[in-house]
Structure 1
Amino acid sequence: MGLLIVVLASIFVGAVAQRIAGLGFALLISPFLVIILGAHEGVLMVNVCGLVSSLLIMFRVWKDVDWSMYRWLAIPAVAGSIPASIAAVFLPAAPMAVIVGAVVLVALGASLVLARNSVVVKGNTAKAVAGFASGVTNAVAGVGGPAVSAYAVMARWPQRPFAATLQPFFVTIAAVTLAVKLTMDPSQMPPFSFLAWALIAAMIVGGIYAGERLQKHLRDDHVRFAVIVIAFLGAATAMVKGIFDLLG
C-alpha cells in the first residue's frame, strides 16, 4: 500500500506537468517508477500512463496539433521504437536502470545547454532524426520527450503547437512500444489489482484537471525548471541504484 501511494503521487505530479508544459510526465516519473517497481515494469508503467495521459490531453488541444510535423516525427519514431522495444525486453534489469538514469540525466543536461544556444535547425531531416531518437529512448527508458524537445528549442517551434503536437506523437510511440513488449513478454505488466489501476487512472485525470487550473497561474519556464530539478534527483537515484545492483 505504501508503494502504491508513492506511485499514485508520482503519477499525479507527472500528469500536472504534462498538462501545463506539454511534456515532463516521463521525465518526472520514469526514474521513480524504475526504483519502486523495477526496471522493466517501471518503464512499461511509464508507457501505459504516458499513453493514457497524452490521449486525454490530445482531445483538448486537437485544434493546435501540427499534423505535418506529427508525421515527420512519428514515422521515424515508430521505426526506432520497434527494434529498441525488442532489445529492451532482453536487457537485464540493473543495466536498464542505469540506462534510464543516464538517458534522463543526459537529456536534461542537453536541454539546459540548448536553452542558451543560438543554433537554429531547419528541414525535414532534423525532424526525422529527433523522431527516431525519441522512439528509441521511449522504448528503452520510457522517456521520449527530450529528443523532440531539443529539436523544438533549436527549430524555434512555438510552445502551443509544440505541446499539442506531442500528445498524438506520444500516444503513437507508447502504443507501439507497449504492443511489442507485451507481445514478447506479457509478464512485464505490473501486477496491480483492478482497484489500483482505477486509482492510477483517477490520478492521471485528476492531474490533468489540476494542471489546467494551475496553467492560468504558472509560467511555463517555472514549471519546466521544477520538472528538471525533480527529474535530476530521480534520475541520479535510479542510476546509483542500478550501479549498486550491478556491483551485486
Structure 2
Amino acid sequence: MAGDALLAGIVLLGASVQWLTGMGFALVAVPALVLLLGPVEGVSLANCAAGAICLVGLVGGWRYVRPAAMVPLCVAAACTVPAGTWLTRRLPEPWLLLSMGGLVTAAVLLVLRGARVPALRGRRGAVVAGAAGGFMNSAAGVGGPPVSLYALNAGWTVREFVPNAMFYGVVVNAFSVASNGVPELGGAQWALVVGAMAAGGLIGRGLASRIPEKRARLLVLLLALTGGVTAVGKGLWGM
C-alpha cells in the first residue's frame, strides 16, 4: 500500500512539472521510479507516462511542429532505441542504476550550463541529438536533454521548443515502449498512475500562471539532479 502511494506521488510530481514547464517528467520521475520499481520496470513506466503526457500536450500545438528538424531527430532516435533496450537488459542492476543516474546527472548539468555545442547545429545536429535521445530514452527513460540542447544551439524560443519537444516525446516514447515493453503493473496500480497523471496536469496548469518559468525550470532541474545523484549513490552502494 505504501509502495502504491509512493508510486502515485512520483507520477503526480512528474506530471505536475511537465505541465508546469513543458519538460521534466522523465528527469524528475525516472530516478525515483527506478529506485522503486527497478531499472527495467521504472524506465518502461516512464516511457508510457511521458508518451501519454506528450500526446495530450501536442493536441493544441501540432501546427508549430517543424518537420524539417523533427524527421532527422525521430529517424535517428528510432535507430538507437534498440541499443538502449539491449543495454538495459544486460547490465546488472547496480551498474544500471549507476549508468542511469550518471546520464541524468550529466544531462542536467549540461542543460544548466546552457552548453553551446557546434555538433548540435543544423541537420547533423538533429541527427546527433536524436540518436543520443533515443538511446538515453530506452536505456534510462530520459531522452529530452539532447533535444533541449539541440533547440538551445538552434536558437529556438520556448514557444517553438515546447510543441516540437512534445512531438519528439510522442515518437521516441512510442518506439521505446515497443522496444522495452509495457510495465507489469496491476489494475489498481494503473488506475493510480492514470489518476496521478490527470491530477498532476491540473496542478501544473494551475501553477503555471503563478510561478515564473525560469524559476520553475530551475526547480525541475534541481529535483532531477538530486534524483540522478541518489541513483548513482545507490548503484555504487550495491556494487
| TM-score class normalised by the smaller sequence | over 0.9
- 2: distance between equivalents of 1:38 and 1:58? 30
Q: Does 1:129 align with 2:128?
A: yes
- How many residues in Structure 1 have an aligned counterpart in Structure 2? 239
Q: Which residue of 2 aligns with 1:15?
A: 15
- 2: distance between equivalents of 1:118 and 1:91? 30
Structural mapping, 1:176-187, within 5 Å: 176-182=175-181
User: Runs in 1 of length 4+ with deviation above 4 angstroms?
Assistant: 117-121
Structural mapping, 1:81-96, within 5 Å: 81-96=81-96
Report if aligned partners of 2:10, 2:29 keep a CA contact under 8 Å in 1.
yes
Q: Which residue of 2 aligns with 1:34?
A: 34
Report if aligned partners of 2:12, 2:197 keep a CA contact under 8 Å in 1.
yes
Counterpart of 1:60, as a letter, is G
Q: Which residue of 1 aligns with 2:144?
A: 145
Once the 2 structures are TM-superposed, how far is the Cα of residue 226 of structure 1 from its aligned partner? Answer: 0.4
Q: Kindly report the root-mean-square deviation, in angstroms, between the aligned alpha carbons of the 2 structures.
A: 1.9
Once the 2 structures are TM-superposed, how far is the Cα of residue 120 of structure 1 from its aligned partner? Answer: 9.9
Once the 2 structures are TM-superposed, how far is the Cα of residue 121 of structure 1 from its aligned partner? Answer: 5.8
Identity of aligned residues (%): 28
Q: Which residue of 2 aligns with 1:193?
A: 186
Once the 2 structures are TM-superposed, how far is the Cα of residue 194 of structure 1 from its aligned partner? Answer: 0.9
Q: Which residue of 2 aligns with 1:25?
A: 25
Counterpart of 1:80, as a letter, is T
Once the 2 structures are TM-superposed, how far is the Cα of residue 68 of structure 1 from its aligned partner? Answer: 2.6
- Equivalent of residue 220 in structure 1, options 189, 213, 230: 213
More deviation, 204-213/222-231: 204-213
Counterpart of 2:203, as a letter, is A
TM-score under structure 1 length normalisation: 0.90
Q: After superposition, give the CA deviation of every residue in 1:165-213 in whole Å (9 maximum; x if it has no partner).
A: 111211111111121223xxx7xx23x2212201211111221222222
Once the 2 structures are TM-superposed, how far is the Cα of residue 158 of structure 1 from its aligned partner? Answer: 0.9
Once the 2 structures are TM-superposed, how far is the Cα of residue 122 of structure 1 from its aligned partner? Answer: 3.6
Q: Which residue of 1 aligns with 2:62?
A: 62
Q: Which residue of 1 aligns with 2:199?
A: 206
More deviation, 118-127/62-71: 118-127
Q: Which residue of 2 aligns with 1:235?
A: 228
Once the 2 structures are TM-superposed, how far is the Cα of residue 61 of structure 1 from its aligned partner? Answer: 2.4
Report if aligned partners of 1:86, 1:180 keep a CA contact under 8 Å in 2.
no
Segments of 5+ residues of structure 2 without an aligned counterpart are none
Counterpart of 2:138, as a letter, is A
Report if aligned partners of 1:65, 1:164 keep a CA contact under 8 Å in 2.
yes
Once the 2 structures are TM-superposed, how far is the Cα of residue 118 of structure 1 from its aligned partner? Answer: 9.7
- 2: distance between equivalents of 1:144 and 1:35? 19
- What SS does the aligned partner of 2:169 have? helix
- 1: distance between equivalents of 2:61 and 2:234? 38
